[in-house]
Amino acid sequence: MASLRYDRAVSGYFVENFGCRATQADGAALERQFEERGLTRASSPAKATLVVLNTCTVTASADRDARSAIRRVRRQNPEARIVVTGCYAQRAPEEIAALPGVDLVIGNSHKHRLAEIALPELFREEKPHADFIPLSFLARSRELGTENSIFAHTELLAAPVFDIAGDSYESLRTRPNLKVQDGCDNRCSFCVIPYVRGQSRSLEIDRILREVNGLVDSGYREVVISGINLGRWGRDLALSSQLSALSQTLASEVGGPRSDADLRCPTFEDLIRAILAQTGLEKLRISSVEPMDWTDELISLVASSPRIAKHAHVPMQSGSDAVLRRMHRKYRPWHYREKIEKIRAAMPSAAIGADVMVGFPGETDAEFDATRRMIEELPLTYLHVFTYSARPGTPAATMRNQVPVHEARERNRILRELAAEKKSAFMRGFVGKELDAITLNVVGSDAGGEFTEALTDNYLKLRLRGRYGANRWLRARIEDVGEGALMGVGPICREN
């Protein structure tokens, strides 16, 4: 083997992420791997020696986006080493390896060792041609000693992801997102995610608390916790002495000590209480949680704590019982309705969002109408509407009566328009009222003059008149609604 050439001055890397928050979190962990090995982040893929494309595969469109990015990077930077990882790489490694310009393909099962795998290949004096490391090869390698099944994978990449307002990476970052759970044990018939991310696994409480406390010490005032199936956090963690100690710490909050029988594994509610009790975080925001994991205990906890954002994202997918059954979802429409109504009763001002899928195989006009009517009737404030996309290897991909694309797109349009109406009505309800908001790192101007962008506690965009520093919680009075945002002035009572 030729000696390694390790020139840190010219060895920049760039990680480009596609898809969900979990993928963004994985990308942040990859950046941490490279930084720990002395590499610096390039300003763009065109200026990097190593380009990592961290892919999504939740839809056919996501796959196309990844392939387009590979072509773009190869065109703009023909000398770069292109490493493709993520969910698409896990699902179809041979397909990606066949694309011109791809040097390495590393699936999710080996993403936690990506820098270790990629760096020796990157800095050989004689660059190998199109080195592809398929999962089967890695599994046979005694040097790497890795497993060949994503379902045997136990690693969980964890590093905060920062919302970056503006185009500059060096700009001040706010509202970090911390992935605390990965993988999924459900088998929804349309979803490829369990097959590319593996079984549900949780980040240990002590690691979460260290990350959150580190963010607080660095001055961050809101943290978002996320996961592939966030409400399942803790169910894979065995009872430990640490958890027993945690139980005693939290005893006063939960009404007395808990028995060992209650502590076979921690719950998602335990995690939230731990963050509140053992960190100085000002605001915790919870990302998407499945309907049946919105327990009465969780709803009460979110509603009662001023340190938890009044925001609930509850995937719905369909309002038709027949469609939910074909999807292999574990709840019925009446279960979903009950959860949303309980959340609204406990938190009258909360943002309540949902994921909805249209065009699922066999979806009739009547089944779609059941979804539309449920959305009209429920106090939802925003929607993420998706058009069904067949994923190879999933049961739904082989179902009969696939919905024509033009019909599915029309249903998507109908729901998006309905969602816009509901969101607008929700926002107008706050005119003349006061809301807490955190300032972001964007200052702009419109007909009313200069404004600073902010995000309210209940997940609404706010244009705050004047110029304010980023990452500051303040109270604003809402004066109007326009261009998809609240218009307000502040601070009213407090500023810090």
Q: Is the dihedral of CA 63, 64, 70, 73 positive or negative?
A: negative
Predicted confidence (pLDDT) per residue in 286-302, tens digit: 999 999 999 999 999 99
Could you write out the three-class secondary structure of 419-472? Answer: HHHHHHHHHHCCCCCEEEEEEEEEEEEECCEEEEEEEECCCCEEEEECCCCCCC
3-class secondary-structure state, position 224: strand
- State what percent of residues in the chain have pLDDT above 70: 80
CATH 3.40.50.12160 occupies which residues in the chain? 12-152
Q: What is the C-alpha to C-alpha distance for residues 280 and 307, in angstroms, rounded to an integer? A: 10
User: Beta-strand (E) ranges in 340-448?
Assistant: 351-358, 382-387, 434-446
| Out of 236-250, 320-334, 416-430, least confident range | 236-250
Mean pLDDT of the 224-244 span:
78
- Mark out the alpha helices in 123-267 (DSSP H runs): 135-140, 193-197, 205-217, 241-249, 251-254
What is the per-residue pLDDT for 169?
35
Report yes or no: 488 and 430 within 8 Å, Cβ to Cβ: no
Mean pLDDT of the 51-57 span:
93
What is the per-residue pLDDT for 398?
93
> In this structure, what token pair is assigned to residue 408?
């599915």
Q: Is the pLDDT of residue 280 over 70?
A: yes
Q: Is the pLDDT of residue 2 over 70?
A: no
CATH 3.30.750.200 occupies which residues in the chain? 312-319+339-425
State how far Cα 480 lies from the chain centre. Answer: 31
Identify the DSSP state of 17.
Answer: E
Predicted confidence (pLDDT) per residue in 205-229, tens digit: 999 999 999 999 999 999 999 999 9
Q: Is the pLDDT of residue 460 over 50?
A: yes
Q: Is the pLDDT of residue 432 over 90?
A: yes
Token pair 């209650």 is at which residue? Answer: 262
The matching CATH number, chosen from 3.40.1280.10, 3.40.50.12160, 3.40.50.261, 3.40.640.10, for 12-152 is 3.40.50.12160
- Range 312-319+339-425 has CATH code 3.30.750.200: yes
Residue 285 pLDDT level (bands cut at 50, 70, 90): very high
Identify the DSSP state of 276.
Answer: H
What is the per-residue pLDDT for 148?
46
What is the per-residue pLDDT for 241?
40
Predicted confidence (pLDDT) per residue in 306-365, tens digit: 999 999 999 999 999 999 999 999 999 999 999 999 999 999 999 999 999 999 999 999
What is the per-residue pLDDT for 149?
55
What is the per-residue pLDDT for 363?
97
Give the chain's mean pLDDT: 84
Q: What is the C-alpha to C-alpha distance for residues 144 and 121, in angstroms, rounded to an integer? A: 14
- State what percent of residues in the chain have pLDDT above 90: 60
3-class secondary-structure state, position 281: coil
The matching CATH number, chosen from 3.90.550.10, 3.40.50.1700, 1.10.10.10, 3.30.750.210, for 160-309 is 3.30.750.210
Q: What is the C-alpha to C-alpha distance for residues 351 and 459, in angstroms, rounded to an integer? A: 6
Q: Is the peptide bond before 491 cis (omega within 30 degrees of 0)?
A: yes
Say what the alpha-carbon torsion angle 184, 188, 191, 194 is, to the nearest 10 degrees.
20
What is the per-residue pLDDT for 160?
60
Q: Which of 277, 276, 249, 275 is nearest to 263 (CA)?
A: 249
Radius of gyration in angstroms for the set of CA atoms belonging to the chain, rounded to a whole number: 24
Q: Is the pLDDT of residue 414 over 80?
A: yes
Q: From the CB of residue 64, how many other CB atoms can be counted at a distance below 10 Å?
A: 10
Q: Which of 42, 55, 45, 162 is nearest to 111 (CA)?
A: 55
Mean pLDDT of the 412-433 span:
97
What is the per-residue pLDDT for 145?
28
What is the per-residue pLDDT for 456?
97
Mean pLDDT of the 368-378 span:
98
What is the per-residue pLDDT for 21?
79
Q: Is the pLDDT of residue 447 over 50?
A: yes
Predicted confidence (pLDDT) per residue in 105-164, tens digit: 998 888 888 888 887 644 443 333 333 334 333 333 322 223 345 545 455 555 565 554
Q: What is the C-alpha to C-alpha distance for residues 373 and 387, in angstroms, rounded to an integer? A: 18
Q: What is the C-alpha to C-alpha distance for residues 102 and 132, in angstroms, rounded to an integer? A: 8
Residue 238 pLDDT level (bands cut at 50, 70, 90): low
What is the per-residue pLDDT for 198?
87
What is the per-residue pLDDT for 124?
46
Give the predicted TM-score (pTM) of the model.
0.82
CATH 2.40.50 occupies which residues in the chain? 434-489
Q: What are the residues facing 407 on neighbouring strands?
A: none
3-class secondary-structure state, position 290: coil
Considering the domain delimited by 434-489, tell me its CATH architecture. Answer: Beta Barrel (2.40)
